[in-house]
Structure 1
Amino acid sequence: MASVIADEKSYNVPALCVRLGLAGGSADDAHRSKFRYAQQRIMALDAPAVIAAAKALLLEQPRDDLVEAVAMIDELPGPNITPLTRRRLMALFDGAPLSTELDHLELIRKVWPIDTMPSGYERDDWTMTDRLFQHTVRNDDMSNREILEALGWLTCSRARLFRFLEEVTGPEAQTPERQAELAGKIDAVLVHDGYRLVVAGKMSGSPVYAVKAAPVGSPADDAISDKLRGFDPTEVAGRWQEAMDSREASPGRAITLARTLLEDVCKWIITEAGETYREGDDLPALYRQLSKLLKLAPDDHTEQVFKQILGACQSVVESLGALRNKLGDAHSLGPRRARPLPRHAALAVTLSGGMATFLVETWQARKGEAAAAGAG
């Protein structure tokens, strides 16, 4: 902060310090050493006052180094992004271009002020733009890992890191296929530090992602997420994530997504099994077809306890379909209908995720049994 103030003309420094809430003084004192003048007055403040002064200074001098320093202070109370997570995220860009649709320097320029950043390397008169152009355009001898390390990826603020993740997964930066793949992989890494990469909007029909603090859910959430991500990391896992993220803010949306998640899983497994379904089939019809395929119908078992459990599963599926029609956001609730609450959404989403996981694991077990029988 003192170095930013010291960049002012000495005769302006006293007035600037006063505007920032620092003690006043004479222009002669500032002329002898602008940095020492500012530093002495900053040291006289307590921590909250220093932060307030720094934010006030940003309004007059939006210097990138000061922006980063203030951001890091503001981020102290939140969950940290560990160096291990940063390295795992960095590894996602190994062997692939940073962007498939946008020039890589243009993408980087959205996040880092590379035209004014020192290169930290080679000639003193080079900016970071000069360095990156030399080693990624003129000579292709700088890996994505080296690029990100040079930009300060491992030590930058969470705000800057998250902004890059949002820009690099944006629809202007990636093809739809690469966007979905990359977003799923980034989300799978971030979740371990308490964050998620979620769909925050649309641009011309394509998703726009944002990093958000992960909502606190049930202990089963992570296990279901891992299983569904392994089954289908984009559509099915994405639907589950949307349902979880909507539980508190949009219960009706969460209930609709809970039903859609089960429809997705039923259709995927039926298709993988080489069978077809009618486009007009609703969730109960799809589940009945799948339960026969996986031998999950109560009549497929003789033991009463299994009949009861599988009958209860069928009831859960049918109830989710009915709940969506009554409380989901697919239809108008009208002025007299009951409004879903977050606890209703949490129940629907948890039941849907549990059933989806059960169906996926049963299908994988059936494939394993068939493969073993074929090998025998």
Structure 2
Amino acid sequence: MEDEICTLTLKTLRTELASEIANFKAYDVPAICVRIGLSEGSEEEAFQSKHKYAQKRIAAQSADELLKSARLLHAEQGGYALGEVLAKLDDLKGRPITKLTRRRLIKLFDGQPLATEVEQMDFIRSVWPIEDMPVGNGIQYDNLESFLVQHTLRNDDLTQQELMEYLGLLECSTSRLFRFLEAVTSAEYQAVKRQSELAKAIDQLLRHDGYALVKSGTISGSPLFKVRHIPDGSPSDNEISIAIKNFETSQVSPRWQAALESRSSNPERSITLARTLLEDVCKWILHEAGDGWDEADDLPALYKKTAKVLNLAPDDHTEQIFKQILGSCQSVVSALGALRNKLGDAHSIGPKRVRPAARHAELAVNLAGTMSTFLIATWANKNDNT
């Protein structure tokens, strides 16, 4: 199926490249073709038909040669249609945004303008080159801009869904869609409340397709957002998820899932959840074992009590290698507590405090998940042998 899609897209690319070349003056066409890697020809041939001149030379190119020529021309001249075909070919390398998600994104604007801080048409012009875009559906207008002016400013007879479909939200390249989503959540175009609501709703929808809308910076005190790919969960993520879900589903498992999901979008929160996850596991094991804990116990104290119940304290073993490994486990737990205090969201970050990156959250969550799984497995083994 992917090969069929690629073949169709390459066919479209040949058509669009020929059309772009045909937009030039006939006497310029031979030189342009040579410049982008097509074979040489005469001006006389180009004067007979610019389009056929280009088509003949494009047809002789391999897929790689075609892509190179198209990218060269697009870099030099731009052009919406050619750029979109190239972008859609690039999309084949990544995860798609499904049409269902696109429809749900469009529904976020039912009865709502695309921007609250500027005129809607000004916002549209900032994202789409509507003066270079056709209307489609056989509608006879010079370009999409003249159509939208007629039907949104003069007549106002398009619904927001129809407007966004004419803009191509259902079919456009992923990069074009992401550009729209990043712009529509910008403080330049949205009031504070609307920006916050949109960013949250868009992020939730994108996550179903493996992307997230995350804060990437600020402008004049307001957040900026970028769409980021969510890294695929590692095999260990899945194994830990199964172990924790089998252990306890109502509180501990949701905590683990929340920690996983917030690694990229909210590292501070993810780090705090990682520590809380390990605290939960320790408390559950102590409860099941009939042992208690004090409300004031921090993570190292809880782990120490749990390790005693599970015979995991270094002093409980004589083999040096086991003492060393179990001592390292204690160090990991203490480090998790310290990491949460330094980088988590449990305390005010202060003006000079280091902000954690996604990689810090990844480390904290992986450590907490691995330690939790080890404790759960040890507790299960202890029960099986009693």
Instruction: Give TM class, smaller chain.
Output: 0.5 to 0.7
TM-score (norm: length of structure 1): 0.66
- Would you say the 8 A contact 1:197–1:212 is kept in 2? yes
Work out the CA distance in 2 between the residues paired with 1:184 and 1:240: 17
Alpha-carbon shift at residue 159 of structure 1 (Å): 0.9
**1:61 pairs with 2:74:** no
In the other structure, the counterpart of 1:168 is 184
Work out the CA distance in 1 between the residues paired with 2:133 and 2:93: 28
Superimposed CA distance per residue, residues 314-356 of structure 1 (whole angstroms, 9 cap, x where no aligned partner): 83799754333467796889xxxxxx967632336769xxxxx
- Would you say the 8 A contact 1:258–1:348 is kept in 2? no
In the other structure, the counterpart of 1:281 is none
TM-score (norm: length of structure 2): 0.65
Work out the CA distance in 2 between the residues paired with 1:341 and 1:118: 47
In the other structure, the counterpart of 1:198 is 214
Unmatched runs of 5 consecutive residues or more in structure 1: 232-236, 247-252, 266-286, 292-296, 334-339, 352-376
Superimposed CA distance per residue, residues 136-176 of structure 1 (whole angstroms, 9 cap, x where no aligned partner): 23333211101011112111111111110111011111112
In the other structure, the counterpart of 1:346 is 365
**1:84 pairs with 2:100:** yes
Superimposed CA distance per residue, residues 15-62 of structure 1 (whole angstroms, 9 cap, x where no aligned partner): 111111111111111111111111111111110110010010112221
Structure 1 vs Structure 2 CA RMSD: 4.3
Structure 2 CA distance for partners of 1:186 and 1:332, relative to 1, 3 Å: closer
Aligned with 2:228: secondary structure?
strand
In the other structure, the counterpart of 1:367 is none
In the other structure, the counterpart of 1:11 is 27
Instruction: Please show how residues 240-279 of structure 1 align to structure 2 within 5 Å.
Output: 243-245=262-264, 254=267, 256-258=268-270
Paired positions, count: 299
Instruction: Please show how residues 136-155 of structure 1 align to structure 2 within 5 Å.
Output: 136-155=152-171
Superimposed CA distance per residue, residues 51-94 of structure 1 (whole angstroms, 9 cap, x where no aligned partner): 01001011222111111111111111111111111111111111
2:129 to 113, 116, 130: 113
Work out the CA distance in 2 between the residues paired with 1:116 and 1:341: 45
Aligned with 1:200: secondary structure?
strand
Work out the CA distance in 2 between the residues paired with 1:66 and 1:260: 47
Structure 2 CA distance for partners of 1:168 and 1:302, relative to 1, 3 Å: closer
Amino acid at match of 1:315: L
Alpha-carbon shift at residue 10 of structure 1 (Å): 1.6
- Would you say the 8 A contact 1:114–1:127 is kept in 2? yes
Aligned with 1:149: secondary structure?
helix
- Would you say the 8 A contact 1:71–1:159 is kept in 2? yes
- Would you say the 8 A contact 2:216–2:225 is kept in 1? yes
- Would you say the 8 A contact 2:270–2:365 is kept in 1? no
- Would you say the 8 A contact 1:121–1:131 is kept in 2? no
Superimposed CA distance per residue, residues 255-307 of structure 1 (whole angstroms, 9 cap, x where no aligned partner): x44455699x9xxxxxxxxxxxxxxxxxxxxx9xxx9xxxxx97xx9864484
